[in-house]
Amino acid sequence: MVLVVAVLVVVFGFIVGDPWTWTERALVVLVAASPCALAIAVPVTVISAIGAASKFGVVIKSGEAFEQLGTIRTIALDKTGTLTRNDPAVVDVRTSPGISRGDLLSLAGALEASSAHPLAAAIAATVSGAPAASGVVEEAGCGITGQVGDARVRVGNVRWIDPAGLSPDADAMAGEGMTVVVVEADGQIAGLIGIRDELRPESAETVRLLRAQGIDTIMLTGDNASTANALARQAGITNVRAEQLPADKALAIRELTGGSPTAMVGDGINDAPALATATVGIAMGAKGAAAAIDSADVAFTGHDLRLIPAALAHARRGRRIMTVNIGLALAIIVLLFPLALFGIVGLAGIVLVHEVAEVVVILNGIRAAQRPAALSNARSAEQPSAVLASTH
């Protein structure tokens, strides 16, 4: 549009018989409309903000991810390893008649030794000298299968393996907040293993901080409804979607993003499809699976959940700075264009205004690199989290 206007100005000069004056004005118009400040308004802010966030354990992979992070209105949180400590432990074992506790744990431990799932580590830690398993195949969101000695063994959740006669025990264990793992040998239920992963101490505080920012929280978990609801109540989350396979999580995120910008927070391989589907995928990178980190747009190098509301507040502040920069840059162009067109301001004045505007935009963008109080407070789980006053 600017180029067309400049050509028309030159043509007008020939029409009125003063081509030199109007050609000069056309060139001044081109300079006045140059988007110098506009071109750097966003990049300088994004680079400053991303650099600052990385110093506090929030790795943002792209400028687009940073901009999207500032729009988030809904957060979906995985349970195991995200809301919980990621340090699960076996707290209960129920066996079928004729199966000892040691035999049950040995069968399960033989398979779980090759799995990267946090619950697998809890089972493997209870067994020393477990027999080697062969032909191990992991079914994402369900469990694991393999050969242990002469027995074909399956270890998985209650949706995948029916506890049969031990169903009452499974229900009771789930009601106490345990994740129930069923062990099957040669088609027969060998027993149940109850694993509990306690909530992170900052989980409830994180949910409160998110709610204070006007962000809805949802728990998405592959665990059963009883266990999920028990932990959700402790964290203050009212919206729970349990028994979600990886594909179900991705479908739920797709549904949520249709209503508002949604972030998914997870750390396991089961979360990877949902992380890739979300507006912004956030991986808890300290102990997260490589697939989850690769699928995410943002990764935390620490494990403190309070980084989530702090990072969101940081991104929102960055977007506000970008908006101000863009508005200022556009206002300069709109103001200078008619002044140049009618010869009110000459080339030197136009250039001076542009240079001043660029300096102002740069200085404003650099403000995004200021140390966010919320991120600073979230660095240490021992320190109480401050209200996100400065960046909310």
- Measured N-to-C along each axis, helices 307-341 and 19-32 cross at an angle, to the nearest 10 degrees, of 170
Q: Which residues contact 358 (CB under 8 A, 6 or more apart)?
A: 36, 37, 40
d(CA 337, CA 118): 62
Q: With H, G, I as helix, E, B as strand and everything else as coil, classify residue 13.
A: helix
d(CA 7, CA 252): 54
d(CA 53, CA 46): 10
d(CA 193, CA 182): 6
Q: Is 150 an annotated catalytic residue? A: no
d(CA 17, CA 273): 68
d(CA 75, CA 193): 31
Distances (CA, A) of 264 to 44, 94, 102: 27, 35, 39
Place of tokens 């025990």: 169
Give the active site residue among 78, 216, 223, 267: 78
d(CA 165, CA 130): 26
Place of tokens 């320190």: 383
Q: Are 269 and 283 in contact (CB under 8 A)?
A: no
DSSP string, 31-74: HHT--HHHHHHHHHHHHHHHHHHHHTTEEE--HHHHHHHTT--E
Which residues are known to be catalytic? Answer: 78
